[in-house]
Amino acid sequence: MNFLSELFANVGNVTWQHAVMWCIGGVLIYLAIAKKMEPALLLPIGFGTILVNLPLSGAVTQGKEVGVLTLLFDSGIANELFPLLLFIGIGAMIDFEPLLSNPKLFLFGAAAQFGIFFTLSMARLFNFDLHDAASIAIIGAADGPTSIFVANVLNSQYIGAITVAAYSYMALVPIVQPPVIRLLTTKTERRIRMAYTPGSVSKTTKILFPVLITAVVGIVSNRSALVGFLMFGNLLRECGVLNSLSDAAQNVLSNLITLILGITITAHMTAAEFLRVDTLLILGLGLIAFVFDTVGGVLFAKIMNLFVKNKVNPMIGAAGISAFPMSARVIQKMGLEADPQNHLLMHAVGANVAGQIASVLAGGMILNLVPQLLK
């Protein structure tokens, strides 16, 4: 009888807010399976969202009972361990040759971070405190691990909503970017062809690049771990003597950490923490950040074309966000739609990996600026 009484008491604790969170979890699972949108992340986030909103799950800490997801969060996210380990796998996946063969693509990576700083101002207008506003703005980095890292370091109370927004909009890049690009460019501009010479970067340059980038960032920023782990992963790829470790980083490590990270982050996706007006604002601001990232990159390319002889296809600027390689694929597809012989993939990939570096640098810049602004 005591068991039945306790069971009915817990059933009575289920509210409409819990039901809404179950629906959100179900939608994420649907998008992962049916639409194949970032399934490695959205599936565990969706399942975890349902799990943490079950009264008897024990997944999150309640009273003196320590939940397993809370324990994982404190052990792997609160100390930034999981996002940093994931950066090793991401670095091992990236080929910087398209970027190194055309260094001016670095500029597009920088220009496409405009949405971060625009959204920071917008978030402040909605009365978010500076720590939370900066954490929300970094959604514009289009980089899930960077968003988690920055939000956690700044101790944002919205880390669950920020993470879901960052990864959801990354998955929605093929939907978000094309209409913005079409609005800002003409068909003639989308037809601009760009020559590419493969194999123009030496192996020595590829090896020295991650080392030098890490050293430079370490000198100018006290948050060099973000770039350092990314570049270490790339060094594993390019050194040529650790192929098995590079393969493990690209596959086993990145898949395992992504899986654990996805379900662990849901420790902060309980109904009480997630279903608030602030959360809806965060989702809206995240969309604004992505849109203005695209706007910044495209407009920068159009301005550049006023001064250079060899014209740049303005769509390349939109690939300067960190959503790798989704954004590059979008640009390639749109280039072929405008001209079936217009192959922009390698240039788009170069801008895309520049955005990967720029987003990490932007995250470090935010972490450096916020304490200074609070003084």
The predicted model gives 368-374 an average pLDDT of 72
User: What percentage of the chain reaches a pLDDT higher than 90?
Assistant: 25
Identify the weakest region by mean pLDDT among 9-13, 23-27, 121-125, 181-185: 9-13
Residue 105 to residue 298: CA distance in whole angstroms: 12
Q: What value does the mean pLDDT of the chain take?
A: 85
Closest by Cα among 128, 94, 148 to 261: 148
Decide if pLDDT at 298 tops 90.
yes
Peptide bond into 325 cis (omega under 30): yes
Residue 191 to residue 360: CA distance in whole angstroms: 31
**CA 246 to each of CA 210, 225, 232, 237: distance values in angstroms, whole numbers, following the listed order:** 14, 19, 10, 5
User: What percentage of the chain reaches a pLDDT higher than 70?
Assistant: 93
pLDDT at 114: 86
**Tens digit of each residue's pLDDT (9 = 90 or more) over 77-101:** 777 788 889 889 988 998 888 888 8
**Tens digit of each residue's pLDDT (9 = 90 or more) over 157-174:** 888 788 778 777 777 788
Closest by Cα among 282, 280, 279, 320 to 298: 320
Q: Which helix (H) or strand (E) holds 197?
A: none
**Tens digit of each residue's pLDDT (9 = 90 or more) over 116-157:** 888 888 898 888 988 899 888 888 877 777 888 888 888 888
**Tens digit of each residue's pLDDT (9 = 90 or more) over 183-194:** 999 999 999 988
**Tens digit of each residue's pLDDT (9 = 90 or more) over 219-228:** 766 667 878 9
Closest by Cα among 321, 340, 370 to 123: 370
